[in-house]
Amino acid sequence: MRLLIIADTHVPKRARRLPDAVWREADAADVVVHAGDWVDVALLDELEARAARLIGVYGNNDGPALRERLPEVARAELEGLRLAVIHETGAARGREQRCAREFPDTDVLVFGHSHIPWDSVAGSGLRLLNPGSPTDRRRQPHCTYLTATAKDGELHDVELHALPR
C-alpha cells in the first residue's frame, strides 16, 4: 500500500496550490495522509475527490469549517500497520517518550506543525514521522513531503522528497 504523507500545506496562504509533484504522488497513492494546517477547505475537497483514500486531521491554523470535517487525531490500520495522525506533538525534547506514552497502541505516528522533517523511533518501537511542508519551508533548505509503503504490519521505503526551489 503506497502512502503519500504531507502536512502544513497552508493553501492558499503560503502557496496557491500544491506542487505538481505532490499531486502526481497523490494520484498514485493508495492512501494520502495529511497532518493538518490545510488553512482552506478547498484543498480538503480537492484531495478527497482525487485521493483513493484520505486520512487527515486539523491543525492550529485550521478554522471551524475544517474542524467540523476533520478530527484532532485520526487512527487507521493499513495493511496491519497501526497509524495515528495528529498535528502537534509539542517540543522536540522528550517527543519520543511523550508520544510513546500517549500512543501506546500505535506503530507509526505522523505529525506536522514545525515544518521540519522528522524520522525517529521511540524506545517502545513507535516510529514518528513529520513530512515537513511541501509549500512553506521556513528555516529548511527545501519544501518536502514523504512517501512510504505499508506492508504486512510494517512501514517500508520511507523517502523524504525535497522539492525544487
Q: Please give the Cα distance from 69 to 62 (Å, whole number).
A: 11
What pLDDT is stored for residue 76 in this prediction? 98
pLDDT reported for residue 9: 98
The CATH number assigned to the domain holding 105 equals 3.60.21.10
Instruction: Report how many domains make up the chain.
Output: 1
| SS3 readout for 24-90 | HHHHHCCEEEECCCCECHHHHHHHHHHCCCEEECCCCCCCHHHHHHCCCEEEEEECCEEEEEECCCC
Report angle CA 104, 108, 109 to the nearest 5 degrees. 80
Strands of the sheet with 2-6, listed across from one edge: 54-56, 31-34, 2-6, 144-151, 154-162
How confident is the model at residue 141, as a pLDDT? 95
**pLDDT tens across 87-137, in order?**
999 999 999 999 999 999 999 999 999 999 999 999 889 999 999 999 999
Q: What percent of the chain has pLDDT over 90?
A: 96
- Per the structure, the complete domain to which residue 82 belongs is given by 2-162
Q: Are strands 31-34 and 54-56 parallel, antiparallel or unpaired?
A: parallel
Residues 6+ apart with CB under 8 A from 90: 98
CA-only gyration radius of the chain, Å: 14
Angle at alpha carbon of residue 130, lines to 134 and 55, rounded to 5°: 80
- Provide the pLDDT for residue 72: 98
pLDDT of residue 165 exceeding 90, the answer is no
